[in-house]
Structure 1
Amino acid sequence: MADPAPLPVARQFDLVGHSKAVTAVEADHNGSRLVAGGNDYMVHLWDFGGLKSDGKSFRSFEVTEGHPVVAVSWSPTGDAFMVVTSYSQPKVYNRDGKELGELPKGDMYIRDLKNTKGHVTNCTGGCWHPTDRTTALTCSEDGTLRVWDVMEITQKTVVKPQLAKPGRVSVTSCAYSADGRLIAAGLQDGTIQLWDVRGKFGHSAAVGLVPVPKAQQPLFGKQTWTYSSAPGQIARNAHAAGSDITCVRFSLSVQNLLSRGEDGSIKLWDLRKFKQPLRTADGLTCNYHNTQCCFSPDEKQVLTGTSAEGKDSSGALVVLSADTLEKVGEVEVDGSAVSVQWHPRINQIFVGCGGRTGGCVRTFYDSKLSSKGALMAASRAPRATAADFVRLDQPKIYAPNALPMYREDMPGKPLPKKRRKELEEERNKYQPQKGSAARGVAVGAGGQLGASGGTLLTQHVLKQQGGLVNPKDEDARAMFLRHADKASDEFERFTAAYRATQPQRIYQQEEDDEEGEEGGGGGGQ
């Protein structure tokens, strides 16, 4: 067998923007744009045609608030992509990141999930059909896979895996084969199941339903989708029961299948003998439920990521031989390596990595083996900031018509010395006067004028009207006597009723102190 192609890992280039681990990465089929999502609930878009060496994305947005991204997938034509979060409704976007539609949600109170129009619980994965731009596939914790018409935003087929015993088992991963004729699904009970979707796939899901009364028919939509349950092939106990199968991937020749599990193993399967795996590799730490794996373009190597076991350790991009699954090499990354893609057209490897404190898409390439993509972006310097550029968050405002005490000189040619001296003298005229504030007395205390020296408009108006006077400087008796005439007039208003009966006012006479009189008589004796 010929030697495998050399790895394009001579250099690396980081696409930045995520604040937590990047859990989903995929470049379009031309290798011109890349979309990535992570545990920070954000999706970032990079265009290699205009990407600079700083690695910043040209667009970022939050898909569903509070729900991490678990999968991203481009359409075969590259004009749209699908984003699957842990929410029950994946979304479809156009090439520039504008939302085209949201897949419907099913009725969680219906017992038989084949009769719902969408997923009812968290989604765990999804991918676009490799050749049909109108079809996509998703899987969920509700135990179903669903095939969608993403152009009409409607459900086409509901697929329910065959279980060993009644119940509901989460479907943790799914994939299309390269020719689109097979669907693979990994279940939480450690089972891998395959369906052949060629021809008419499934039968009508409306068979056996109780007809809706005519009066209520306008309130209910007709079930137009199909239903399938019996898989073509089943591999029981493919991975440890109770642990997620984080990824399933077909080879380009559609003869082999890779499966990655949270049990720390990766297995290679022959689709012609699907009962037992051909090869198994263990000891690959996996702490993320959507850790991915993939084949190299020549199918002679297998790539997967490993998770960091602690704060002082780091994950790695691991390269295995496709024949023996023996480790060929590994490249350490920051945090854990979760999502992996080896793009065949530009020969570059994209690794979504990170942890709780940060994340990035690490791109590996070789200047001799790779083309376009990060190879071109790494040589472009970031656009320099213009000298006269003003930051909007820290604006500098100049007011030439403001008072001299607030006016600032405009930038540019310095003023002559004489002019600067004149401006300084003019400003000093409007400075606060030395007064009570300079003597340690509070401004305005005791009725004193403020430090502005009467320059405020209110102080000026009050002073002109005679209302701005210090009470300490005014005679209190004179203040009351000014109102004596007004007081007599006010008194007449209350005594007018007694003018006829008491023309002469009678006031109570003062009486002498009785004790004083008695004391005076005793002294005379």
Structure 2
Amino acid sequence: MEDEAEIFMGSRAEFPLTFGKRPKAQTPLAALHNATRRPANEPNLASVLAPASASSSSSKSFVSLSSSSKAWLDSLRSNTKPKTSDFSELGDQPSNSTSKISVLEGDGALVCSLRPMMSTMNQEEEDEAMDAKTGPQVYSSEDDDREMIGPPPPPVDSVTEDEEEGMIGPPRPPEGLKMGDSEEDDEADDEEDENRYQIPMSNEIVLKGPSKVVSALAVDPTGSRVLSGSYDYTVHMYDFQGMNSKLASFRQLEPFEGHQVRALSWSPTAGFFLCVTGSAQAKIYDRDGLTIGEFMKGDMYIRDLKNTKGHISGITCGEWHPKTKETILTSSEDGSLRIWDVNDFKSQKQVIKPKLARPGRVPVTTCAWNRDGKCIAGGIGDGSIQIWNLKAGWGSRPDVYVENAHSDDITGLKFSSDGRHLFSRSFDSTLKVWDLRKMKLSLKEFEELPNHYAQTNIAFSPDEQLILTGTSVEKDSSAGGLLCFYDREKLELVSRVGISVGSSVVQCAWHPKLNQVDA
């Protein structure tokens, strides 16, 4: 029985899915042609040109004729008997005297044309026959009194309402609208304009991992591995090349127990990454998540920060040098920035103390390298932005000092690759664009960008035409955070992309090789 069942299923698989189904009833093509065919039992031409009401069947009348053609047929019906004596016996003429009917099939319509040709002709009729061979001729009223065969040609670029009823095909476009334009084309053009920056928004996936706010995000230069740090004190490592449908991380780390992850940064060679937490010690891991070492903590009882061997308070931000694989930059709540050598975890290479309006300790909330690694920017807790150029004999005195750049703590700084602009993000719900040659006033200030997290950053598109940053929402809010895209040259909003309801956008990145936005 099992063999018979297999044989039956095998033979059944050879038949198409439509086997055994009755096709829908369709009008035979022959019936459509017969509707305009001249009946064989009516030899007289007058019977063909008779009014439709006089015919025995309504199917013998011509359909889908323009008003000018109908007027011509009516004029022929009203004419008297033809001049030649044997014209009434046209149907009895030999094979060289025929009536040719050509049928053109359109979309649901048939167009018929009738061309009579006679063997017995006078001089006038021979001229008309010659016109039929050489093409239609247009006569003016001044030439002669000969009657034209067929409907008169319509005036150029003019179509009457009656002719539109009998026209085949779509109507002409209205004036002012180019051929091929339509509302759908306009909508497509609008969509093309909106996405002319090629923002990758076609698909979206959610990587499983952190249970709380994702406060740090880093994609390695090759685009194969992604790091995410969270307020749940963990770092999740994802491998795009070996990821399955579960979208889970292949390794989970907890750098310091009880300390939130604040920053992650890959080395230029993608062999190591820096992890910054709320503790005073930053850690270095290799590509597989194995600990390489941690930097030394300074003596909190020493008042002068330049004499300590490390940070004495929680680190706020950290970045690997963009070109040198041994150099790292960190900023801290102790009010200092430090440059480290990964070959020596016991002490920093350089200590930078920002300029303050009054004595004391003000935290440095964020820091950033420029593209060449020859310039450092720091966001200070008093709302100022300070920039240092790394050169021989340089010290803590900033080369650029912008007082009151923001009215609240600065959460992110980003240099442009061409060295022309600096971008800053703050708790004051703004994103500002600065010209590095004129830092007194910002070029542009984008407002109404809520920010509730100290790690909200700024990112670029691969060609740096777009600036992107995220917005925050209140806890248990019915709305969701937004990923905002701005045109760097025009300094205007391009697009907003919504995220899940109740979720804020803290970190974002646009990888040039993957061409995907991570947030």
TM-score class, shorter-chain normalisation, is 0.5 to 0.7
Contact 1:279 1:324 in 2 (8 A): no
* Displacement after TM superposition at 1:53 (Å): 2.4
Note if 1:172 corresponds to 2:340: no
Given the alignment of the two structures, is residue 346 of structure 1 paired with residue 514 of structure 2, yes or no?
Answer: yes
Pick closer, same or farther for the CA change 1:330–1:306 going to 2, 3 Å.
same
Residue 405 (structure 2) pairs with residue 238 (structure 1):
yes
Q: Which residue of 1 aligns with 2:415?
A: 250
Specify which of 341, 349, 358 is matched with residue 149 of structure 1: 341
**What is the rounded CA distance, in whole Å, between the counterparts of 2:343 and 2:256 in structure 1?**
20
Q: Distance in 2 between matches of 1:254 and 1:275?
A: 17
Match of 1:163 in 2: 356
**One-letter amino acid matched to 1:99:** T
Q: Distance in 1 between matches of 2:245 and 2:457?
A: 27
1:328 alignment counterpart: 494
Q: CA deviation at 1:55?
A: 1.1
State the secondary structure of the residue aligned to 2:506: strand
Aligned residue among 416, 424, 432 for 1:267:
432
CA distance in 2, matches of 1:260, 1:350: 18
Q: Does 1:181 align with 2:374?
A: yes
Secondary structure of 1:11's counterpart equals: coil
Contact 1:177/1:183 (8 A) holds in 2: yes
In 1, the alpha carbon distance for the partners of 2:413 and 2:396 equals 19
CA distance in 2, matches of 1:327, 1:310: 26
Q: Give 1:201 deviation, angstroms.
A: 5.4
Aligned twin of 2:36: none
Is contact 1:280-1:325 (8 Å) kept? no
Map 1:258-297; keep pairs closer than 5 Å: 258-297=423-462
Q: Tell me, in whole angstroms, the C-alpha distance in 2 between the residues paired with 1:150 and 1:201.
A: 22
Distance 1:289 1:336 in 2: 13
Alignment of 1:285-434 (within 5 A): 285-311=450-476, 312-334=478-500, 335-351=503-519
Bigger relative contact order, structure 1 or 2 (CA pairs below 8 A, ≥6 apart): 1
Q: What amino acid is aligned across from residue 342 of structure 2 in structure 1?
A: V
Q: What secondary structure sits across from 1:110 in the alignment?
A: coil
What is the distance in 1 between the residues matched to 2:469 and 2:399? Answer: 27
What displacement does 1:14 show? 1.6
1:476 alignment partner in structure 2: none
One-letter amino acid of the structure 1 residue matched with residue 402 of structure 2:
A
Whole-angstrom distance in 2 between the partners of 1:323 and 1:95? 37
The structural deviation recorded for 1:4 is 6.0
1:310 is displaced (CA, Å) by 4.0
Give the letter for the 1:232 counterpart: D
CA distance in 1, matches of 2:445, 2:393: 32
**One-letter code of the match for 2:497?**
V
Instruction: Tell me, yes or no, if structure 1 residue 140 matches structure 2 residue 306.
Output: no
Matches within 5 A, 1:497-516: none
Q: Deviations over 1:491-512 (max 9, x none)?
A: xxxxxxxxxxxxxxxxxxxxxx
**Deviation of 1:197 (Å):** 1.1
Residue identity opposite 1:34 in structure 2:
V
SS in 2 for 1:126: strand
Identity of aligned residues (%): 47
Amino acid at match of 1:193: Q
What displacement does 1:16 show? 1.2
Aligned counterpart, 1:26: 218
Aligned to 1:127: 319
Partner Cα distance (1:349, 1:98) in 2: 27
CA distance in 2 between counterparts of 1:38 and 1:296 reads 24
Contact 1:47–1:57 (8 Å) recurs in 2: yes
How big is the shift at 1:317?
1.1
Give how far 1:324 is off.
4.2
RMSD: 1.3
- TM-score computed with the length of structure 2 as normaliser: 0.61
Q: How high is the TM-score relative to the length of structure 1?
A: 0.60
Kept after mapping to 2: 8 A contact 1:92/1:101: yes
1:280 to partner: Cα distance: 0.5
Q: Is the 8 A contact 1:285 1:308 kept in 2?
A: yes
SS of structure 1 residue aligned to 2:306? helix
> Separation in 2 of the partners of 1:177 and 1:345?
21
Distance in 1 separating the partners of 2:491 and 2:453: 21
Q: What is the rounded CA distance, in whole Å, between the counterparts of 2:196 and 2:388 in structure 1?
A: 31
Give unmatched runs, 5+ long, in structure 2: 1-194
Instruction: Give the aligned partner of residue 240 of structure 2.
Output: 48
Asked if 1:71 corresponds to 2:239, the answer is no
Q: Distance in 2 between matches of 1:282 and 1:121?
A: 32
1:183 alignment partner, SS class: strand
Deviation per residue, 1:149-208 (Å, 9 max, x gap): 01222310000011111111110000001111110100111100101114x354xxxxxx
Aligned length: 321
Distance 1:90 1:324 in 2: 39
In the superposition, relative to structure 1, how do residues 273 and 48 fare at CA in structure 2: closer, same or farther (>3 Å)? same
* C-alpha deviation, 1:326, in angstroms: 2.6
The whole-number CA distance in structure 2 between the counterparts of 1:234 and 1:331 is 35
Q: Distance in 2 between matches of 1:68 and 1:91?
A: 13
2:301 aligned to which of 91, 104, 109: 109
Aligned to 1:100: 292
Partner secondary structure for residue 209 of structure 2: coil
State the one-letter code of the partner of 1:309. E
Matching residue's letter, 1:231: P
- Report which stretch shifted further, 129-138 or 268-277: 268-277
Question: Which amino acid in the other structure matches residue 270 of structure 1?
Answer: D
Please give the residue correspondences for 1:483-502 in structure 2 after superposition, counting only pairs within 5 Å. none
| Structure 2 letter corresponding to 1:147 | I
d(CA) in 2 for partners of 1:159, 1:181 = 15
> Shift in Å at residue 299 of structure 1?
1.7
**Partner amino acid for 2:380?**
L
Q: Is the 8 A contact 1:5 1:298 kept in 2?
A: no
Counterparts of 1:323 and 1:262 in 2: how far apart (Å)?
25
How far apart are the structure 2 equivalents of 1:337 and 1:324? 24
Structure 2: distance between partners of 1:104 and 1:82? 14
SS of the equivalent of 1:12 reads coil
* Counterpart Cα distance in 2 of 1:23 and 1:336: 11
| Aligned-residue offset at 1:323 | 2.9
Most deviating of 312-321 and 132-141 = 312-321
